[in-house]
Amino acid sequence: MLPSANRMRRRDEFTVVVRRGRRAGRPTLVVHLLERSGTPDPPLVGFIVARAVGNAVVRNSVRRRLRHLMRAHAHEFPPGSLLVVRANPAAGPARPDELAADLESALERVRRPRSRPTSKGRR
């Protein structure tokens, strides 16, 4: 399970990350990352599992699986980082290995440096 020191609990932190953070999506989940510099706090991870994912039993199961998977990745982010993992409706019936692969892929993608936009068609 994800350590308590790494759990995001405040609504304003969730809001800031989802609105301003970098985003990477996969079929079963979307990851939002906001890197804050100059903060000695540990990286915080929050989870959003909406009703569209399934009933309460399914939602809590998905949340537990995501917390377990994030345990191995929490230390990979710089201090002060805020990360939100939002489950899509496809996460409910997804197999554990499928959810793990999507999380790995989304985390890898969100950590990549941003590429500069190209100016197509300009002269």
Q: Which long-range contacts (CB under 8 A, 24 or more apart) does 34-40 make?
A: 34/81, 34/82, 34/83, 35/77, 35/78, 35/80, 35/81, 36/80, 36/81, 36/82, 37/78, 37/80, 38/80, 39/79, 39/80, 40/79, 40/80
The percentage of the chain sitting over the pLDDT mark of 70, rounded to a whole number, equals 92
The Cα 39–Cα 87 span in angstroms is 28
**Residue 26, pLDDT score:** 94
Fold type of domain 4-109: Ribosomal Protein S5; domain 2 (3.30.230)
- What predicted TM-score, i.e. pTM, was given to this entire model? 0.86
- Binning pLDDT at 50, 70 and 90, where does residue 38 land? confident
**Residue 115, pLDDT score:** 66
- What mean pLDDT is predicted for residues 95-105? 94
The Cα 21–Cα 34 span in angstroms is 4
**Residue 39, pLDDT score:** 77
Domain locations in the chain?
4-109
